[in-house]
Amino acid sequence: MLQVIAELQTAGIGDVLANEPMAPYTTWKIGGPADALVIPHSKEQLQETIRLLARHGTPWFVIGRGSNLLVTDKGIRGVVLKLGPALDYIRFEGTGCVAGGACSFMKLSRRASKEGLTGLEFAGGIPGSVGGAVYMNAGAHGSDVSRVLKAAEILLPSGETAMLRNDELHYAYRHSVLHEDKGIVLEATFELAYGDRGEIAAAMAAYQDRRQRTQPLQLPCAGSVFRNPEGTFAAKLIEEAGLKGLRVGGAEVSAQHANFIVNTGAAKAADVLALIERVQATIRERTGISLVPEVLMAGER
């Protein structure tokens, strides 16, 4: 690994940080060190990094804005790639919208609203990046990425790029083909529609107000922890089980929203994992339903 880090630093492909703690890069503020964290300064540098890692057979993991992610206390072996400012951009072309993988999904939603374009209102409360949203088929308020995405440019493990159409991403609930076929979302193209600016703004304001009232935004968290089972809501099941406020170490089932686990100040990944397991066991025993985590988990166990 030391040789790989030395080559990365010599190649001048951006910021290369060895043994870098991951907690500052996640919205949960949890996570041990990565062997190396690389923040390329351009798409070309990112491609060069991927090719270098491929030559060495070095494992890699990509992050955007660090939401919807739990990094273990032991950290991540290999290289973590963080998408930086080079992939943080937005362009509008009529009803089409092109956004870089590192762009804030919420910012994209707000910009589309100002352009008088409808279709991304649901994204106004989703804290991740465009790349993460494409990867996860992020959604809220009855809509999701699959309904508005036209195509995405993907960086493959070989260092080559490919343009995948919506249908080629094989979207399902919080799932895309990128869960099986590894790749990095460099850019996404959305097809929106012209709408009434007042109605768009009103819908976004209502969603934002609901988010402020119902989500524990004052504490570090990662968004919804569990997927909603078919026909019901994870938060409803957890609340009905009386699990709001349940704590393991510094991790707590939010008293404000039962499908959020918050870091009360000193939570470890082990605390969050133990709490997830306790919630799953309780709900399974009470209802027979197996709650499936929505958050991604990375790192050495």
Active site residue ranges: 174, 224, 294
- CB 299, CB 71: distance < 8 Å: yes
How far is it, in rounded angstroms, from Cα 164 to Cα 235? 34
Q: Closest Cα partner for 132 from 225, 65, 43, 177?
A: 65
Q: Closest Cα partner for 119 from 190, 209, 47?
A: 190
Q: In sequence order, which residues have a C-beta less than 8 Å from that of residue 213 and are 6 or more positions away?
A: none
Buried b / exposed e along 196-215 (16+ C-beta atoms within 10 A): eeeebeebbeebeeebeeeb
Name the residue with tokens 């060190």. 33
CA distances from 198 to 113, 204, 220, 288 (A): 9, 10, 33, 45
Taking phi first (over 0 means left), then psi (-120 to 50 degrees means alpha), and beta for anything else, what does residue 242 get? left
How far is it, in rounded angstroms, from Cα 179 to Cα 136? 8
How far is it, in rounded angstroms, from Cα 289 to Cα 80? 34
SS3 116: coil
